[in-house]
Structure 1
């Protein structure tokens, strides 16, 4: 039963209900709008904020050394690199530039050591062109598994220098040493020809479709045999006497 004095209360309740409904509708439309905005694709090149200031290029280069600038080096001429180095030096204090140079040197030495270690291990990506390929790897192993008189070429060459110096005071000794040296050179020459023939025969038996020329492969094998075992690069992978 509706009383006359309840008219104002009912109107107030209706107004509050209408206000609640409108506020709910507004919040719903706002959430829908936010959701629609979130579903829209972000513009190209948009990056969210990092929450920290972007470091300066000079600070990055000082931290990373030459490694951070290496990708720019091939596209720049020597004069451009020199000009950039001058500008970099001018933008730094004496202590900062000294620290940068030290880091640059340490990074360069580290890369050189890593590359040399990889070359010693025989990793294909770090080898010189003359050492690449399975045929050349087989030739190295074939040489490393054997002993040759040519292993003493370098010690003999050093001894000949000493003989030449001593020969100025002892001509008779120099004449005898010269004959002995000529015999050794003949032995080395004959062994070099024999080594080239044998390594070519073994390589072609293992790799029938190889395109290596006989002279190039033979010379490569002999040039390795004249080096002392510990000086060879890549390092020997097999022991003397191993089956290859």
Structure 2
């Protein structure tokens, strides 16, 4: 009949549809290619947003430094070491000079500076503790016959050192309270800070003394 289509017409229609761009039937396990190579994992990680947080432990810091050494050339590592050494030397020199920005937290502040000046302006008996204690230790082993007398002398010396430290701590607290009445830095902490500096030999103190012995503070 005129309104019915023959089998040949149906085949021509299917062929025309396929030629027009209809996707052929694919197998269930088929995956179409992306048309570009798969990026490497390290390249993908470099493009990620935030940077990794700072290391929380020493082991993690060592691991990161090791990774940096592996990625840097020999010349770059040498240059980095030179810069770090120069920076450490500069910080040490400025800290010894007493520059406030480079001091440790325990040394910062006008009260702590004033306490250091008081200690450094005195001739402290406690400053002889380290060398004299070494002499006593040598005498104990070198003169076993007189070890009892040496031990007694050492005990007397230690008592005198403790008395000197207590006196310096109280002196510093008293004068700091007069000079800085509104400061909260005082009491045992300030006294201990002054006493610990008194025990150090003058040439080994950090920061270095800014006043001479006998100078008015």
Taking the aligned partners of 1:73 and 1:241, their CA distance within structure 2 comes to 55
- Alignment-derived partner of residue 86 in structure 1: 70
The DSSP-based 3-state class of the residue aligned with 2:123 is coil
Question: CA offset at residue 73 of structure 1?
Answer: 9.8
Counterparts in 2 of 1:85 and 1:190: CA distance versus 1, 3 Å: same
Counterparts in 2 of 1:74 and 1:238: CA distance versus 1, 3 Å: farther
Question: CA offset at residue 172 of structure 1?
Answer: 2.5
Taking the aligned partners of 1:84 and 1:103, their CA distance within structure 2 comes to 13
Unaligned runs of 5+ in 1: 1-71
Deviations 1:100-140 (A, max 9, x none): 33322221211111001110111111111110000000000
The DSSP-based 3-state class of the residue aligned with 1:216 is helix
Is 2:179 aligned against 1:224?
no
- Alignment-derived partner of residue 50 in structure 1: none
Deviations 1:58-85 (A, max 9, x none): xxxxxxxxxxxxxx99746634443343
- Alignment-derived partner of residue 134 in structure 2: 158
- Alignment-derived partner of residue 191 in structure 1: 164
Counterparts in 2 of 1:73 and 1:215: CA distance versus 1, 3 Å: farther
The two structures, once aligned, show a CA RMSD in angstroms of: 2.0
Match of 2:180 among 189, 207, 224: 207
**Where in structure 1 do 4 or more consecutive aligned residues deviate above 6 Å?**
none
Deviations 1:124-168 (A, max 9, x none): 1111111000000000001111101101011122113212322xx
User: As a proportion of its length, which structure holds more helix?
Assistant: 1
Check the 8 A contact 2:116/2:197 in 1, yes or no.
yes
- Alignment-derived partner of residue 117 in structure 1: 93
Unaligned runs of 5+ in 2: 1-50
- Alignment-derived partner of residue 241 in structure 1: 214
Check the 8 A contact 1:73/1:81 in 2, yes or no.
no
- Alignment-derived partner of residue 59 in structure 1: none
Match of 1:100 among 45, 55, 76: 76
Aligned residues: 162
Taking the aligned partners of 1:73 and 1:202, their CA distance within structure 2 comes to 50
Is 2:117 aligned against 1:141?
yes
Taking the aligned partners of 1:128 and 1:218, their CA distance within structure 2 comes to 18
- Alignment-derived partner of residue 171 in structure 1: 144
Counterparts in 2 of 1:80 and 1:192: CA distance versus 1, 3 Å: closer
